[in-house]
Structure 1
């Protein structure tokens, strides 16, 4: 299939086949794709938690408003942001740049100073909003890669973040969950699989100047 055909094949899977699991290779592809997501400033303030244990996931159903995808899917991906973003994150980022590219400090310093100033001037609520937007970029990237790899997925905002964080121990790691992405393979009897996509005509969504 072409990339467009695969995007048409993709849908928000409502019912997963509980007998099917992602291979280690497929799972690693998703991990790598998450890590390669294009993020603002190249600053990776996101974490991806991969939950396979079904006993743990069963406890997440209630805090996900009864949505069984969180436990019936092969794996549950939890996209998290850092509760705090500060100079330490920026220093670590530029240390990584220096180690990988061998870029001199004289070249890195102006950009590093500017980035510290930008981040430090952000009120905490704006930092959270900015980081959350980065999580949505990562979610979109993961969903596209899932489509290419013919992995079914279901993006979810509908869950009680604080309760989920407590169950998974995310809060103790200084993280906050913002999005869920169950991944796996659709059940044969998921009626939503055969629904035609409902989208506006290109003439209504694209403006060419």
Structure 2
């Protein structure tokens, strides 16, 4: 594949912003959305464990139910696509074995070949953390997926708004997540900015490179 030019990458990141108003009439084309979904699937995670589920909320009634639990931020109902990044609440041996079995199948080896890797994951994640630590670890993994999602969206000139401003317990109830061993970690509405969104043309507020990047 041909590399993307460095100027195109920077231009896309300068173009993006946390969109406050979406145009409810504009929908993301299916091919662009397929690429965005693949950006989620291809997101790296610690040990490759992928402790998440990405829930695309299409149902208008479900979005309306989420709205008051997202501080009445209209992005969740006006966007083209609403993604809920849900984290596994208590990753255990079953999830580790699933990864081992899929890895063995994909790479053409017996699962026993990966016993050392399995024991390392069990020791560090399943046995080395308590339930609260495992939950927090899985939520942190969700931020990696969010970053990937927003960057790819920007490259496609699709707007996004990362959101921590919601009540996870209520969103969990609406989506039936607790019985599935999941919790809502982040919301990300995606679509296209409304013409009247005053923040679209606001200058970015970022510290200069010399303040943020050090070389040792």
Q: TM-score range by the shorter chain?
A: over 0.9
**Residues 98-156 of structure 1: CA deviation (Å, up to 9, x unaligned):** 11101234531111112111122211111011111100111011010111111100000
Superposed counterparts of 1:18-167, under 5 Å = 18-119=24-125, 120-167=127-174
Secondary structure of 2:85 counterpart: strand
Contact 2:153 2:160 (8 Å CA) reproduced: yes
Superposed counterparts of 1:182-201, under 5 Å = 182-201=189-208
Residue 168 of structure 1: aligned partner:
175
* Deviation for aligned residue 1:56: 1.4
Structure 2 unaligned blocks of 5 or more:
1-6
**Residues 54-83 of structure 1: CA deviation (Å, up to 9, x unaligned):** 121011110001100000000110000112
Contact 2:44 2:50 (8 Å CA) reproduced: no
Q: Distance in 1 between matches of 2:169 and 2:36?
A: 25
Equivalent pairs, count? 209
Q: Distance in 2 between matches of 1:39 and 1:2?
A: 26
Secondary structure of 2:28 counterpart: coil
Q: Distance in 1 between matches of 2:17 and 2:143?
A: 17
Contact 2:87 2:142 (8 Å CA) reproduced: yes
Residue 178 of structure 1: aligned partner:
185
1:208 to 180, 195, 215: 215
Q: Distance in 2 between matches of 1:62 and 1:41?
A: 36
Q: Distance in 1 between matches of 2:154 and 2:109?
A: 37
* Deviation for aligned residue 1:172: 2.6
Q: Distance in 1 between matches of 2:70 and 2:52?
A: 21
Normalised TM-score (structure 1)? 0.97
Q: Distance in 2 between matches of 1:107 and 1:169?
A: 37
